[in-house]
Structures are given as C-alpha cells and as structure tokens.
Structure 1
Amino acid sequence: MSVGYIGLGRMGGNMALRLLECGVDLVVTDVSKDQAGAVLEAGARWVDTAAEVAAEADVILTSLPGPPQVEQVAAGPGGLLEGMRPGSAWVDMSTSSPVLIRALAQRFAEKGVDVIDAPVSGGPQHCRAGELVIFVGAEDEQLARVEPVLQHLATEILHIGALGAGAVAKLVNNATALGTWSLLSEVFSLGVKAGVDHQTLHGMLSKGAYGRGLILSQMLPGVAFKHNFDPAGFALNLGRKDIALANALGRDLNVPLPVLNLVEQSAVEMVGRGHGDKDTAVVFSLQEERAGVVMHDGDAKEFTL
C-alpha cells in the first residue's frame, strides 16, 4: 500500500518520519519544500502538488493548520480532488471542522473516494514515537482499510462514530483543555493573591478529588449520567456557598474571576429552581436543558428541572 502525506509541520513531519521508520512507502508535499528536509533524507519522495500525491498513493494523510488549508488542499487548484483515483482514501488528521469534512466527502464520493476524519491527541514527540490517540470518524469498513497505516502512529485508535465524529471529539477534547487552563489560571491567581504560593496550591489540588480525576472517572458517569443527585454527595447549597465565598474573596483582592462568576450564576439558578439539596453535579443537567440535548443514560433516574 502506497501512502501520501501532506502537511509536514511539527505534527505532520513527525508522523511522516514515523511512517518511514516503519517501512511505509511515502510520497509527500507541503507548501514549503524546506519543511520536508528531514522527511526526504529519511527516504520519502517529493512531488509538487496534492494532486500528484493523490495520483500516486492509495491512502493520503493530511495534517494541516485548519479548515481553510484543508479545503484548499482538498478541493483547490492542484488539490486532492484533481488526482485521486476510485478506491483510494483520504484521511484528514487536522483539527478542523466536522461541517467541512462532511461537505467535502460528498464531492469525493462522486469519484469513488473514501473520506475519513482522524484528528489526534498528543504532541510531536508522540507522533514520532507512534504513541498518539486517534479519534476516527468513519464507517467500519473504511476504518478497517486504513487502520494498518494508522496503527503505526497510535497506541489507541478510538472509533468515535460516522464521518465528522472524530472532528467533534477533537474539538471537545481541546475545548476541555483550554477551558481548564482558564479555570486553573483564575483559581491559582486567587490563591496566590490571598497568600498561598502556586506550588503549594498545585500540591493540594493534586491530592484532592479534582487532581485524582474523580470528576471524570466517577462523578460524571456515576452521578451526572445517571441522575444520582439525591442523596447528595456534596449538596449544591454548599457548593453555591463556597463559590460565592471564592468570588467575594476575588472582589476583595481585585482578582478578576469571569469563569467562576459564570459558575456561580448557574448554581444560583439551580438553587432558585429548588435543587439546592441535590448533588452539585445537578448543574450538568442545566446545560442539557440550555442546549436541548440528552446527556444522561437511558436507565437514569427520572429528573425534572
């Protein structure tokens, strides 16, 4: 099986090197040939356009900065659509838009080409070591066809769902990370300004329920997904009191806490609706109502906001 790789930046370049180390026959291109130096030295073949990559390869992988670049490489002049052959497959490993990949797939299907979205979690060092986690959006048979290539790059290949589901998963993953950074920056700045140094705060958080991952591993699946809000492990009345105290301290010390203030308002709303004696995880159900989605299991307890 011949493989093409387009996009040889820090992530794509290291994935390409990993494939070459695994003995994969690789043809590559990038907007700048300067990016390809190490990959070409390792044995890859250079061509000038994405269309030329598509004409030579059975499976084409792309790792690009974002939706504009994905669309340009896929469907622009000299793009993949011009060169791909029936029966070949395009695997986009970029962090991109699920809406875009689904729209592009319709055009590729007219040429008999499979489209798979497979963004990754991990850094350049994980690319080179073949230790990525890959989030795949594809049909079973489509994934089966390209899996031998992806296995060189990953310790885990998670089949999230149909086309676009991989991109959705990656956005959820990255939004969680960035949102966590915003929250941590607020609470650490509050603690430091109140007189506790950052290393002490880190040690404390690492030992508590948050640092041990209990919210994600136990409370989310066991409480929020099951509506096990009563009896409360930690009642919302108490949680609302604590977040109010934290925000009050921030005001006293002139520490801006925009995220924590939003958290407090959700708690206030739920207490106002009569759920103060329920577990603090009940705020998860408030977002279910706001978004108009179901985020609980079929066997969850009956619960009405």
Structure 2
Amino acid sequence: MKIGFIGLGNVGGKLAGSLLRNGHELVVRDLDATAMAPFVARGAAAGDSPAQMARDCELLITCLPSPSACAAVMEGPDGLLKGLGAGKIWAEMSTTDSGEIVRLAALVRATGAEAIECPVSGGCHRADTGNISIFAGCTRESFERVLPVLTTLGRRVLHTGDIGTASVLKVMTNYLATANLVTLCEALVTCKAAGMDLATTYEAIRISSGNSFVHETESQVILNGSRDISFTMDLVNKDIGLFQALADMHGVPLEVSPLLNRIFQDGEARYGGRELSPNIIRRLEEATGLDIRAPGFPAEMVDDEPEEPGYEVRPRGRDG
C-alpha cells in the first residue's frame, strides 16, 4: 500500500518515521521543505501537492496542528479532495473537532473514498518508536482494511465507533492530561516551599497512588528545567477548548475545565503560544520565587520500551 503523509511536525514526523522504518512505500509533504529532506534522504518521495498525492497513493494520512490547517489541505485549490476517489482512504491523525471531522469525512465519502480519524495518545517519545496508542473512528470495514498500517504506527489500537467518536475521546484524554499537569505543578511547588527534596518528592509520587503517565514524563522534564515534552501552550488551549465546547454543547456544567482553560490562557498570554506546555509551572515559580529543578532528570523523554507489533484493544464485553 503506497502511503502519502502530510504534516511532519513533532508528532507527524515521528509517525511517518515509523512507516519508513518498517518498509512502507511513502510520499511525504510539509510546508517546511527542511522537514521533508530527512525523509527523502531515507527513501521517501516528496509530494508535489495534496491532490497529486491523493491520485498517486492508496492511503492519505494528515497530521496537522489545527482544524483550519486540515481544512486547507483537504479543500484547497490543490487539496486532497481533488484527487480522492474509489479505493482511496483518508486518515486524519490530528487532534481536531469532532464536528469538523464529520463534515470533512462526508466530503471524502462523496468522492467514493473512505474516511478514518485516528488521533494518537501517549507522547512524542512513543510516537517515535511505534509504541503510541491510536483511537480509530470509522466503519468496522474501513478499520479492518487499515489496521495493518495502524499497528505499524502504534502498539494499542482502539476502534471507537464511527467518525467523530475518536476525536471526542482524544480531546477528553488531553483534558485529563492537562488537569494532571496542573496539579503536579502545584504539588511540586508546594513541596519545594515546604522544604522537601524534589527528587524525593518525585519518587514519592511515582511509587504511590499519586502516580500517572503525566508524572513519569512531564514531571521529569520539569525537574530537569528543559520543560521539553514537544507540546506547546497553544495546542493545549486548542485541545482543552475543544473539550469545554463539547461539554457546553451537551449541557454538562463542568467546574474544573473552565479553570484549566483560564490557567492556560493566562500562560499563553504571558509566555506565548509556542512556549512549551510544562512551563505552565512558571506561573507558580514566579509567584513564589522558587526554582523547581533537581539534578538527575532527563532533558527529553526517550521511550525505553522496544518497538513491538501493535494489536487491537477490544472494550470489555466485545471480545468476540
């Protein structure tokens, strides 16, 4: 299966790398030509335009920073929709609005092609090794057709239902990760203010009921001082804003979510949208005058698990 991949940013570049590393025939495209160069050097072809890639490839994957960027790639003068047709598959791997993905999927299906949304979760370091998790929203038939590729891109693949369901679950998980990040920042700063050793504090959280995936990743780069988790404040604001909009649409009176949105809106106003998201802790560092760093922690996360073949995760009661 010849695969076209559009969007070679922090996540997309790593996902495309997994495809290339595992021997898939790959065509790549990014607005930044320098992002394409390493892939071309390793054997990928450079895509001329989204439309031409859609004509030449069987599977077209987009991994882009915003719903508007995805719409531009799909609907532009030389967009993917111009080249899609029967037998083709469009797979959207971005974190996007469920309503927008449903709208674009309808346009894709009108061409005779299939549409799949398959956002990822688990951090850039796991995207780099093919060990990330993938949510897939599509028909069961489409899911089974593309599953061999998804299990190359990720280790755990969950079929969530039809188009739109995966986006709902993805923004939900990003909301939970953001809530965890903010509470970990508060915990680390409070323990430092109380005179606790931060390396000891890290281990106390890690071996206790306070532990989490976010702690074992983002707390480490916070304590190192790099704060580099390859995710930025503008992207956090996009994701938690989408979750709040979802709750508003369905009349759910959330209490924590509005506060998280205000915290990260303030962080982006102070430090800029491209500031690394764990640096939300700077708000508390500046308020207290404390430096939340400790020796011995890595500047960036590296997946220490070997790459393994992926598999489908089945919800309980659906093992047949």
State the number of aligned residues: 216
Question: Partner letter of residue 48 of structure 2?
Answer: D
Superimposed CA distance per residue, residues 114-136 of structure 1 (whole angstroms, 9 cap, x where no aligned partner): 11110112344423322111111
Q: Which residue of 2 aligns with 1:137?
A: 137
Q: Which residue of 2 aligns with 1:12?
A: 12
- State the 1:40 CA deviation: 0.5
Cα distance, 1:169–1:212 mapped onto 2, change above 3 Å = closer
- State the 1:198 CA deviation: 2.8
Q: Which residue of 2 aligns with 1:187?
A: 187
Cα distance, 1:259–1:98 mapped onto 2, change above 3 Å = closer
Q: Distance in 2 between matches of 1:95 and 1:212?
A: 22
Q: Which residue of 1 aligns with 2:202?
A: 202
Superimposed CA distance per residue, residues 94-139 of structure 1 (whole angstroms, 9 cap, x where no aligned partner): 1111111001111111111111110112344423322111111111
Q: Distance in 2 between matches of 1:145 and 1:123?
A: 26
Q: Distance in 2 between matches of 1:87 and 1:100?
A: 23
- State the 1:259 CA deviation: 6.8
Q: Which residue of 2 aligns with 1:170?
A: 170
Superimposed CA distance per residue, residues 169-200 of structure 1 (whole angstroms, 9 cap, x where no aligned partner): 21111111111111121233223223333333
Q: Which residue of 1 aligns with 2:34?
A: 34
Superimposed CA distance per residue, residues 44-88 of structure 1 (whole angstroms, 9 cap, x where no aligned partner): 111221111111111111111111111111112211111112221
Q: Which residue of 1 aligns with 2:61?
A: 61
Q: Does structure 2 retain, via aligned residues, the 8 Å contact 1:183–1:259?
A: no
Q: Does structure 2 retain, via aligned residues, the 8 Å contact 1:133–1:156?
A: yes
Q: Which residue of 1 aligns with 2:107?
A: 107
Q: Distance in 2 between matches of 1:194 and 1:149?
A: 50
Greater displacement, 136-145 / 123-132: 123-132
Percent identity of the aligned residues? 34
Cα distance, 1:10–1:198 mapped onto 2, change above 3 Å = same
* Higher RCO (CA 8 Å, separation ≥ 6 residues): 2
SS where residue 144 of structure 1 aligns? helix
Question: TM-score, length-normalised on structure 2?
Answer: 0.63
Q: Distance in 2 between matches of 1:121 and 1:67?
A: 18
Question: TM-score, length-normalised on structure 1?
Answer: 0.66
Q: Distance in 1 between matches of 2:67 and 2:137?
A: 16
Cα distance, 1:24–1:212 mapped onto 2, change above 3 Å = closer
Q: Distance in 1 between matches of 2:128 and 2:191?
A: 39
Q: Which residue of 1 aligns with 2:84?
A: 84
Superposed CA RMSD: 2.1
Q: Distance in 2 between matches of 1:44 and 1:111?
A: 27
Cα distance, 1:259–1:192 mapped onto 2, change above 3 Å = farther
SS where residue 103 of structure 1 aligns? helix
Q: Distance in 1 between matches of 2:161 and 2:50?
A: 27
Question: Partner letter of residue 58 of structure 1?
Answer: E
Q: Distance in 2 between matches of 1:68 and 1:85?
A: 23
Q: Does structure 2 retain, via aligned residues, the 8 Å contact 1:182–1:259?
A: no
Question: Partner letter of residue 205 of structure 1?
Answer: I
Question: Partner letter of residue 67 of structure 1?
Answer: P
Cα distance, 1:259–1:194 mapped onto 2, change above 3 Å = farther
Q: Which runs of 5+ in 1 are unaligned?
A: 214-257, 261-305
Question: Partner letter of residue 143 of structure 1?
Answer: F
Q: Distance in 2 between matches of 1:146 and 1:9?
A: 23
- State the 1:145 CA deviation: 1.0
Question: Partner letter of residue 51 of structure 2?
Answer: A
Cα distance, 1:192–1:128 mapped onto 2, change above 3 Å = closer
Q: Does structure 2 retain, via aligned residues, the 8 Å contact 1:137–1:163?
A: yes
Superimposed CA distance per residue, residues 224-263 of structure 1 (whole angstroms, 9 cap, x where no aligned partner): xxxxxxxxxxxxxxxxxxxxxxxxxxxxxxxxxx979xxx
Correspondence 1:45-60 to 2 at 5 A:
45-60=45-60
Structure with bigger gyration radius: 1
Q: Which residue of 1 aligns with 2:75?
A: 75
2:24 is the alignment partner of 1:24: yes
Q: Distance in 2 between matches of 1:97 and 1:22?
A: 30
Q: Which residue of 1 aligns with 2:43?
A: 43
- State the 1:212 CA deviation: 7.7
SS where residue 10 of structure 1 aligns? coil
Correspondence 1:151-162 to 2 at 5 A:
151-162=151-162
